[in-house]
Structure 1
Amino acid sequence: MNRARKVKCDEAKPHCLRCSSTGRVCDGYPPPAPPASAQLRPLKLRSLFLGVSKEESRTLHFFCEMVSPNLPCATDPYFWTHLVVQFSRYEPAVRHSIIAVSSLYEDVIRARDNPSGARADRIRNNELALRHYNAAIRELKGIQNQGLVLLVCLLFICIEFLQNNRETALRHCAHGVAILASSGSTSLRWVREYLAPIFRRLDTLSFFFGSNQAGAHGVSILRYPVPPVFKHQSEAEDMVEDILNQAMLLISHGHSFRIGNDHHQPIPPELLQEQERVLCLAKQWYDMFTDLEARSKVQKTSIARAHTLARYRISVIWATQAFAHTETGYDDYEDEFRKMVEETEEAAAMECTESLNARPSFEVGFLMPLFFCTHRCRVLDLRLKCLQLIKTLAAPRERIWNKDGMYALARRIIEIEHGLALMTRIGPVWEETRVQKFCLEFADGRRETYFGHDVHGSRVVLFTGSRGVKSYLRPEVLTDESAHLNPVGKSRTLLL
């Protein structure tokens, strides 16, 4: 009904024809709902926080507008853009923590955008961040809610990542897993839905930088219960992370059988059974995932989908090769590597790449899967595509992985294995030249800034070998190589 003229609404959709045809505004329709993109925007700070200084208010605003949208990388941003901000309104420990995170994050961006003007000790001597970090620690002592303790623990991990304090971050990760194991925090829905998946993804760090015992403990505590069917994409993402962690646990168990003292020993039956179980679980996941896509109308090409499928394919390859004595077994998975590259390329083509890789992230995005593909796939054209995708999709920093450094290492591995320097020769990669693994060490023992601009190089020891038990160590010194995209019109040669 148009109340001004008392014209009866004809209830036509999307607009009343009687009103719209005469230029009147119909009162019979509710206002349109805001678009989904507007609903997902970070909460505004106006009137959210009381009693904070001007400097703190500015830092909180920077967290909402710049930090929280970039931390999740390829994962769902809701936790960072909404949940963390909501808790910070009435939990001082959370508020102090995000002020510290925001201040450090801004320093990181400045150090990267203007490396020549950044002081080496700026990030480690940020007085505002240090003051609020200490205040958060004091507030944490009085919190009885274990869910909130886990949330603050997660923010502490983020603070240590930003300062490049790997060991301290790993201790916080272990503490968080211990809380999940010993308390009733998982009875809280928001803990199960948001915090447990993040700690499950963090457990990957234990296998790369911690101990296998810590990783195994995390896998057992953070095991994802397999549902009858996937109802949402997030369930598929959570389960594939669990499978990836189990595959990494297999890799750690198989180390001594691949290149260690047990190289000629038979694989214990219990390990072979575990390998079969993980591979069956991965197959079950893929069947459930394809069923989810068949039932739903989700977009079949997206960054989130490509990221999820990449982790699935890595899990299958890793689990299969856990006890392999040679590197040539990876050659059997050319089709999987090719699918991974094609799916990632298609997703990248549909996204604004400048928004994907502009800022550091708390989560691991595409850097790890693309580096894995570059390292283990010996098909040169796919390796070169992966190098380009690292430039396109990887964030400058993903947790404690540096894009420029990993790009330089991936490029050097390709040059060594293919026996080329400037793309002068293409041929097969022999077993004797294949890089089995590598160990990284900063040249000065420690980077002075988050992005390492004051370090002239990093020592890396590459392990190459043959079909026997011998391994050969090849020391190299790498400088962080810019993995930024070339301007349009510049040379597209990747290895020059």
Structure 2
Amino acid sequence: MPLKGSSIASLKSRLGCKTCKIRRVKCGEEKPNCVRCTGTGRKCEYEGRVSGASCSMLSTFSPSSSPNTAWRERRAFAYYFQHAAPFVGGGLDSDFWRTIVPQVCRSEPAVWDAIISVSALFEGPEPFPDFVSLRPKNPRVLTQNHRDALSWYSRSVTSFRQHIERGAVDVFVGLISCVLFICIEALQGATAEALRLYDQGVHLILTLRVQIASGAMPPAKSFLLEDIIVPIFVRLGAMAFTISRVPVTSLLPGTEHALTQEFVSLKSARDAIVLLSTEAQLFESICEKNISLASASHMPLELINQQITLLAKLRSWHVAFTKLMACLHSKGRLSPEQTSIAALLWTYHETVLIILETCVSPSRMLIDAYLPSFQTIVEQSSIALDAYMQPDGTQPPFTFEISVGLPIWFTCLRCRDPGIRRMALDLLRRAPQVQGVYKLPPAVRFSEKVIILEETYESTKNTEQAIATASIDYQSHIREKSSDASSSTDMPTGVLIPEEARIRPIGIFRPREGIPPEIMEEDVAKWNASLDQDFLRFTRNKYEDSGIWQIVHECVPIDF
């Protein structure tokens, strides 16, 4: 796949009918039948439409015959290059988003259409509010930007499928298209479809690795895959793993990577902490499963040794990163971009530290010893967001790069200090509204519900009563709490949430789509809710009459 030059060649319209394209003649693009086909008695057909649950809306749209369509395409590409690309991939991946992708689109119409679709959605985002994106979508009045985006996306998918049918798809072009398609689905709020595309991309990467290992592909292809494409999927998987358990593990290094000695750049530090973050989340899930199954108060020696190894890696990362920052400071004042990235990496370090040091304990109270780390996450996240603002003072609507969303959301759910927790929630509202494949507005409402549930349980000591009390909105709850203390940030440790009230959210389900095996049917039936009602599934530690703590699975209705 040639990637020569940095300029973008003049781009001609590709809106003509399929008949004229096959005949290699210029199409007048008249609808529904072009003049050239009508005059010669030929059947006139335009590009087909996309079908499928996740892309059902695309079937409504086809490229417009308006004379300014080509102008809108060129404008969308210019907007992508000038405004979207710098924010979508962040400052560390500009080569991919601002060089490789635009170069590929010169010879790949499907990539061109995907780029301008991303651009249109970035300029006028309309993320769906649904938390798990499984509810059927009702017809909506769409903006011109969204209509254009859907038309271009439809055309891109159709073109890509035609290449597949002809066996003419370059696998690397396929991976680049997959990344762009994930962006498009995420910006529309189609989380399930974005995750399906992610899974397809992972399988394609694994296939390519086999081909490269067998010598079927040149070393240059290996560099493009392992140094550019794979890190994108690893970072995306690290962001998505907490909720969806995406198959990111298959992309991680096959052997234990050595302790970090030094970093040559912020990018190398970023890549290392992302790997550690993913390993930490995987380790935590293993520990939680062990605690849940064994109901044990201690961990197997194997897991303790793994914890020691991971903490050693984290300490090594911290030393190397501290040296890197000292080196960067010695060269002069950091740029806003460097400041933002450094602050972001500190938030990930603190998040990984808290996870690794607390996940081996069945007690939820141990995490209270890490309030300073939560405070650091909040402070550094604020710095990162300030430096990441667009020229008009707002945050970009979408980022494909790691961002403060995960550390802040982690703080909202795990930190029980009311002041720090509320500052984290405020920052979550400020952050880019779509990060990776997930939307933050539903995550904000999710966090609000968890906070209310835990804080009202403290006074009711009963889940059903807590939910009834928690039916009030978050702002009313905040006003009530504020009347109890002049400053929530100064609240004493004594008001922190007790053990039995602390919940660990697991996910969202709807009875119509199946009840999780850990949840009894009567646990759902007692709420007298519809089959389409969203339920929050969680665990908590319950103190039994026998004098021991037991992990229990519960669910409550939740409205978004």
C-alpha displacement of 1:250: 0.2
Change (3 A) 1:180 1:389: farther
Unaligned runs of 5+ in 2: 1-5, 16-69, 130-137, 460-476, 485-490, 514-531, 544-548
Structure 2 CA distance for aligned equivalents of residues 236 and 65 of structure 1: 27
Structure 2 CA distance for aligned equivalents of residues 83 and 223 of structure 1: 31
Residue 249 (structure 1) aligns with: 282
SS at match of 2:280: helix
Query: 1:391-433: CA deviations, max 9, x gaps?
Result: 22x1111123222211112122222323382324462210011
Seq. identity, %: 19
C-alpha displacement of 1:232: 0.8
Q: Which has the higher helix share?
A: 2
- 1:414 aligns to 2:443 (yes or no): no
Opposite residue 310 of structure 1, the aligned amino acid is T
C-alpha displacement of 1:325: 0.4
Structure 2 CA distance for aligned equivalents of residues 355 and 116 of structure 1: 33
Aligned positions of 1:88-487 closer than 5 A: 88-103=105-120, 105=122, 108-109=125-126, 118-119=141-142, 126-139=150-163, 142=167, 146-163=171-188, 164=190, 165-179=193-207, 181-184=209-212, 187-188=220-221, 189-204=223-238, 207-211=241-245, 214-220=247-253, 228-258=261-291, 260-264=292-296, 266-297=298-329, 299=334, 302-349=339-386, 352=389, 355=393, 357-392=395-430, 394-419=431-456, 421=477, 422-423=480-481, 424-425=483-484, 427-441=495-509, 458-466=534-542, 468-479=549-560
Change (3 A) 1:335 1:110: closer
Change (3 A) 1:211 1:57: same
SS at match of 1:327: coil
SS at match of 1:357: coil
RMSD: 3.6
Please report the TM-score for the alignment, with normalisation by the length of structure 2. Answer: 0.66
Contact 1:460 1:478 (8 Å CA) reproduced = no
Residue 58 (structure 2) aligns with: none
Change (3 A) 1:206 1:109: closer
C-alpha displacement of 1:276: 1.3
Residue 465 (structure 2) aligns with: none
C-alpha displacement of 1:220: 3.9
Change (3 A) 1:125 1:359: closer
Change (3 A) 1:380 1:224: same
For these two proteins, the number of residue pairs brought into alignment is: 420
C-alpha displacement of 1:235: 0.3
Residue 485 (structure 1) aligns with: none
Structure 2 CA distance for aligned equivalents of residues 224 and 253 of structure 1: 20
Query: 1:472-495: CA deviations, max 9, x gaps?
Result: 52413233xxxxxxxxxxxxxxxx
Structure 1 CA distance for aligned equivalents of residues 369 and 389 of structure 2: 34
Residue 520 (structure 2) aligns with: none
C-alpha displacement of 1:251: 1.2
SS at match of 2:403: coil
Contact 2:418 2:496 (8 Å CA) reproduced = no
Change (3 A) 1:90 1:283: same
Contact 1:103 1:129 (8 Å CA) reproduced = no
C-alpha displacement of 1:366: 1.5
Change (3 A) 1:310 1:48: farther
Structure 2 CA distance for aligned equivalents of residues 61 and 368 of structure 1: 31
Opposite residue 299 of structure 1, the aligned amino acid is L
Structure 2 CA distance for aligned equivalents of residues 262 and 111 of structure 1: 40
Contact 1:206 1:215 (8 Å CA) reproduced = no
SS at match of 1:261: helix
